[in-house]
Chain A
């Protein structure tokens, strides 16, 4: 079975802190994605990566950055967390053809106080 894991299920951080969200997949997928899920807004793409060290902005990249140093790991970084970044963050991965099924992690619920 494909497995996508995220480092934390719940995270509480203070405004201004630097926050790292980690995602690891075990299926040798080329593509990895970070989404943000908010009630009434659905899922919105923050960043994605189609290869090691490659990244592309999604629809809402402001306030976020990413890192992909190894194929299986994709990190989302909040350089200076703000309260409006309180949300559920979902990681996903799939093989190179992005119409292929995306496999999602369990999500990290981040609260910034």
Chain B
């Protein structure tokens, strides 16, 4: 069975500093996608960043970047220059790719990040 583990239920960071959220996953498959989603308090969940397993280069979206270690099955999210608006629940998610189709998104339990002024 595929699983996603986020070992940090809660984290906090000072504004303007850098924080890294960890995520590990377990699968025997070789082709898959990895995602980080953000759910701000009382607001809709949005996609932060996405990584395709066959790509060695780590994905980057502005202040958000990932450290994808395929052999270690690790997919951490780094937030640089943290802003108050980054306060949210962050979910790591994983999806297997089957030829021309895909499986379902499997989510971790989430990490609650608080950015302090």
* A residues whose Cβ falls under 8 Å from a Cβ of B: 4, 40-45, 48, 58-59, 90, 92, 97-99, 101-102, 104-107
Contact = CB atoms under 8 A, between A and B. Distances in A.
Contacts of B16: none
B45 A104 contact: yes
Contacts of A44: 107
Q: Interface range on chain B: under 10, 10 to 19, 20 to 34, or 35 or more?
A: 20 to 34
Interface in B77-99: 91, 93, 95, 97
Contacts, number: 45
14 contacts: A4-B44, A40-B9, A42-B4, A42-B91, A42-B109, A43-B93, A44-B107, A58-B104, A98-B101, A99-B33, A99-B50, A102-B47, A106-B43, A106-B44
Q: Looking at chain B's contact residues, is the secondary structure mostly helix, strand, loop, or mixed?
A: strand
Interface string B43-87: 111110010000000000000000000000000000000000000
Given A102-B47, A106-B43, A106-B44, A45 B104 contact: yes
Q: Looking at chain A's contact residues, is the secondary structure mostly helix, strand, loop, or mixed?
A: loop
Interface of B: 4, 9, 33, 43-47, 50, 91, 93, 95, 97, 101-105, 107-110
Given A43-B105, A48-B104, A98-B105, 8 more contacts: A42-B91, A43-B107, A90-B45, A92-B45, A98-B104, A99-B95, A102-B47, A106-B43
Nearest to A3: B44
